[in-house]
Amino acid sequence: MSAANTNSQDASPRKAQGTRHERIPVHIFEDPAKVAQKVARCIAALIRAKAAEGKQTVLGLPTGSTPLGVYRELIRLHQDEGLDFSTVVTFNLDEYYPISPDSLQSYHRFIHENLLDHINVPPAQVHVMRGDLPPDMLDAFCVDYEAQIAAHGGLDLVLLGIGRSGHIGFNEPGSRRTTRTRAVILTELTRKDAASSFYGDTNVPRQAITIGVGTILNARTIILMATGEHKAGIIKRAVEGAITGEVVASFLQNHAHAAIYADRPAASALTREETPWLVRDPDWDYTMAKRAVLWLSENLGKALLRLEAADFHNNHLHTLVYAYPDIDALCLRVFDDLRRRIVYQDGLPKNERVVLFSPHPDDDVISMGGMLDKLVRNSNDIIVAYMTNGSVAVFDADVLRYLGFVEMSYREMGLSGDAMAQFRDRKKRIQRFLRSKRPGAMDLTEVQHLKANIRYSEAIAGIKVMGLSAEHARFLDLPFYQTGRIKKKPISQADIAIVLDLLHERRPHHIFVAGDLSDPHGTHRMCYVAVQSALAAYSDSAAVRPKVWLYRGAWQEWEIHKADVFMPISKTEMTRKIEAIFKHESQKDRAMFPGAHDEREFWQRARDRNTATATALNRLGLPEFYAAEAFVTSYTL
């Protein structure tokens, strides 16, 4: 059933087929943009309806990356369609403590920059948490904040995100359903999730202020948004699990007008998405049948060609047996399907033009170092296009270390006199700046450039391991990334034009694009959009329609049933791949943004995911490899 058929106009959709395990109604959309558009329309409809009755609309508003699309759409509705916010009253849900309102990470600043400065909510109707209060005033502020919500009749609609721990607002695990606005201690998990915004978890405040669970549950309508595969596990627990304070979002199960709006990756662990045959009789086309056969093989630990009809009947797959009476033939078909997807070096492109788009200056070797290695050996004409400079992920200490090296090497390079004096003056200025810089503050332009050069030099060193050189690297430095901050600008025509120019220049037969869209700061997703848009424009005039290869690896891996190509990697080739990853020294041992849901270093993730893919194929009864990279291929994005 499509998303259009399962989603209604309000926050309480009718029950979709196969949702009997779901205790909160869930809207599922194909991508985050559609989620944002739908939620924004719900909010706009409420504002207009209340205004028509001469009433105010009281909104509880969150921060973070998830609601940004909603805020952009609300701004568009205000500017292009005249949506009037003069009758709206807003309450921020939470704030870090202590934090100054002008801090880059302040939710006070966030809500103004991303919404309130662009619409016409009267200032007197805006309520934000105070993260700059002295401790002895904090309790009184919380009581007054709660009283103001009550004075406005409570929240008409509260918009929520969800943390990996299941928190809503900053109501951490263990919060009671009756809690009100208060100060809380943040858990280690929440602080790790916030680390990318603060340039390291040590800079994240240990406390926060949040409206309470009881305040949220008193809202007349609740919409919780979730996007990305990293939210799939907690969404399943919140929606299908028991009501418990350990997953605070599960309290929404008892709310009559609560609903979840999720993209398909965030909903992917729900029973109706992951194993739909357990909750309904699906349309047993081959794609669905293949998924079920692979699930059964993995669930029972039996190779594909050892499965028998009784295994299907005993595991809720009797309707599949009726649709495919010859189970042996079906299992053989799935086995042959996977076997044909295993592609060795001889089956890969040879003597063709290839463009590998790498969002950051290390995604190429982390996610598809094995493929790059083989493409080089197959004499392809390769350009590795690094889409962003990755400068925000370089520690200040690395800049100082390289400056020290340059100073020590100056005489060896035959330089002295005025040049040496100018260098030392500039170095001292940079040192003074870095010593006084607040955590998360924007770098000087020259420091940003130095950090970019560190990433660039590492990228070149990485591809040299694979037999390429600096002439095979192209640093696109897309404008959307050039903010000097974690927060990036939306993808613009300027970004798309740079990618399109490269396509026209190279006219590639193959392009490789990161389909790994769960990175913590969204850069992979934005780069994907830039390539997607450029490719759409390029297709109108291209004599050669490039084949698109989507790779993953840094944050997740393609599931067996989704992958189109499995490329075996020997132990020697894996060692070479890891050597290339090691060249990215600024990201080694302790990366700036490792992602809160995975403690391993990137080389460990690459090794473990590639070996796990090979092991999974072997358990299905396919040939045994040391490791394998997986890809999805098409001619469109």
Residues recognised as catalytic: 172
Q: What is the CA radius of gyration of the chain?
A: 26
Say how far apart CA 398 and CA 322 lie, in whole Å: 63
Alpha-carbon gap, residue 111 to 102, rounded angstroms: 12
- Name beta bridge partners: 260: 26, 224
Spatial separation of the C-alpha atoms in residues 203 and 201, rounded to whole Å: 5
- The Cα 163–Cα 193 span in angstroms is 8
Mind spelling out the 3-state secondary structure of 60-116? EECCCCCCHHHHHHHHHHHHHHCCCCCCEEEEECEEEECCCCCCCCCHHHHHHHHCH
Which among 628, 596, 584, 591 has a CA at the least distance from the CA of 609? 628
What is the four-CA torsion angle of 20, 23, 25, 26, rounded to 10 degrees? -80
Among the listed residues 360, 351, 355, 379, the one whose alpha carbon sits nearest the alpha carbon of residue 505: 355
Spell out the residues 6+ positions from residue 124 whose beta carbon is closer than 8 angstroms to its own: none
Phi/psi at 611 (5° precision):
-70, -35
Residue 586, burial from CB neighbour count under 10 angstroms (0-12, 13-18, 19+):
buried
- DSSP classification of residue 59: E
For residue 323 the two structure tokens come to: 């649709």
Cα–Cα distance measured from residue 271 to residue 261, given in angstroms and rounded to the nearest whole number = 16
φ, ψ for residue 181 (rounded to 5)? Answer: -55, 130
Alpha helix (H) residue ranges in 410-522: 418-436, 445-465, 493-506
Q: Are 341 and 562 in contact (CB under 8 A)?
A: no
Q: What is the largest CA-CA distance in the chain?
A: 86
Please name the amino acid found at residue 367.
S
- Distance from C-alpha of 589 to C-alpha of 199, rounded to nearest angstrom: 16
Rounded CA-CA distance 66/70 in Å is: 8
The interaxial angle of helices 286-300 and 327-341, nearest 10 deg, is 90
